[in-house]
Amino acid sequence: MSTEARPERASAARLPARTIALYAIGSLGTGGYATLPGLVLTYFLTDNLGVAALAAGLIVTSAKIWDVVIDPLIGAASDRQLARTGSRRGFMITGAMTLPLFFALTFAVPPSWGPTAGAICVLLAFLATATSFSLFQVPYVALPAELTGSYDERTRLLGWRVIVLTAAILLFGAGGPELRRAGPDQVIGYLLMGIAAGLVIGIGMYVASKTADAAASRVAPASPTEHPPSVREQYASGFRALRRSQPFRALLTTFLLQALATGTMLAGAQYVATWVLRSEDAVTLVFLALVGPALLATPGWTSIARRIGKERAFRIASAVFTIAAASITAAVWAPGAWIYASVAVAGIAYAGLQSLPMAMLPDVISHDERTNAPGQAGTFTGVWTAGETVGFALGATFVSLTLAATGYVSTVAGATAQQPDAAVTGIALSFSILPAVLMAASIVALSRYRLRRSDIEA
């Protein structure tokens, strides 16, 4: 690829408030897509369509594996679009315009179609939804490295993004189930939820695509001097990025493990509300306990990162989350409202887990640009998004495997079932000790991250 597309950045220039606001609004899309399917899709399949727990987990995992396949290709194609036009916006708009339809179709399948037909239709619709989201998300994650070269400005940019992200988690995590109950029955309720949520996600994605224009003003379009690379070469470029950048390997491994931990808790939240706290509506309170503290804590993590560095702040946030998740293990023997307190502590840490690694990724990309060729941010973010997707996908898979192994009883809409004690115990453990172990492993991976402020601002 031509090196004429090198971003022209002022390393210490302060980003305009408009640019930060437009970029942050994109988290309405990322927060909604990450939260609502992870929260209710497996439950929709097992307790509305009557799909077996193991099959439900495989459906969610299959769609996420598709993300892993296409994300590196989208990243490489986004880099070529940037070199050719000076902007990544085309892919982002395509994703924003198509996602609302596919998202609504995912939750439009009625129980009357039967578990098999219903499962197939949900799988196809969710595959299309995942494709639309990747078209937006991969270039979206690449933009911070092109918007500013400042170590602290990236923390500021991503800090505001996470404030909107946590608000989106609250909006979709608490509002989604409320919309589901707004319909005359559960079937219509899920459809209303899918339509409304899809529209909000798409609007957030479309607004954020305008940020690509701000990045475009710092990038000079280049005339490609070579034929477009083959699919094999596009995958190979991602593997080369992993091989040559030790900081990227360490940060990606950390983030993947943490996505797996939080994805496991997210997929288990509805089951915890229904069978541990004995109230399907309690899922709203779980999200209030998680997101309320996170909204307040994000500026604090930004301030801590400026004082002691993103890496140390990230390590502290990870340790706090590990302790909070592990404490919920006591729910196996003594379930109760005290769980909300542990979730709130996890919420404080969660704000740091979202903002800090996303602010560190542009540092990794710019470090690689100085030591290798520029114009490969999309390649990095394609691999990054694929890794994040694997984590969240396997989180849902772990929960579904736990349900299947402990004898969870699936039902259709309107029917009730009594769960065995082993299933309830498995639900509690998948929401507590399993995420804690995964988070502890991520701290070990993070210890291998070597970049510091001096490396970025040199």
The residue among 54, 320, 39 whose CA lies nearest residue 179 is 39
**Residue 451 and residue 327 in contact, taking contact as beta carbons nearer than 8 Å:** no
Q: State residue 1's pLDDT score.
A: 38
| Count of residues in the chain | 458
pTM, whole model, 2 decimals? Answer: 0.70
Mean pLDDT calculated for residue range 358-376: 79
Contacts of 255 (CB under 8 A, 6+ apart): 357, 384, 387, 388, 391, 442
Mean predicted lDDT score pLDDT of the chain: 82
Give the pair of three-digit tokens for residue 37.
Answer: 């399917």
Q: Report which residue type is found at 238.
A: G
- The pLDDT of residue 5: 39
- Specify the pLDDT at position 156: 84
Residue-level pLDDT at 445: 94
Q: What is the pLDDT of residue 138?
A: 87
Q: Give the bridge partners for 49, in sequence order.
A: 412
For 109-129, the DSSP string reads: --GGG-HHHHHHHHHHHHHHH
For the ranges 215-219, 357-361, 397-401, 435-439, which has the lowest average pLDDT? Answer: 215-219
68/5 Cα distance (integer angstroms)? 27
Amino acid at 299: P
Do the Cβ atoms of 399 and 267 come closer than 8 Å?
yes
- Identify the residue whose tokens are 């602010």: 359
Instruction: Locate the domains of the chain by residue range.
Output: 16-219+233-457
User: Which tens digit of pLDDT belongs to each residue from 204-246?
Assistant: 999 998 887 766 555 544 444 455 565 566 667 767 777 788 8
For residues 31-40, give the mean pLDDT: 79
Q: Which pLDDT value is given to residue 184?
A: 75
In the numeric block, the tokens 């957030």 are attached to 204
Q: Is the pLDDT of residue 346 over 80?
A: yes
The region of weakest confidence among 46-55, 165-174, 429-438 is 165-174
Return the SS3 of 250.
helix
The CATH topology of domain 16-219+233-457 is Growth Hormone; Chain: A; (1.20.1250)
Confidence of residue 96 (pLDDT cuts 50, 70, 90): very high
Express each pLDDT in 409-449 by its tens digit: 776 655 566 778 888 888 889 899 999 999 999 999 999 99
Q: Provide the Cα torsion 384, 388, 391, 392; round to 10°.
A: -160
b or e along 152-165 (b: 16 or more beta carbons within 10 Å of the residue's beta carbon)?
Answer: bbbbbbbbbbbbbb
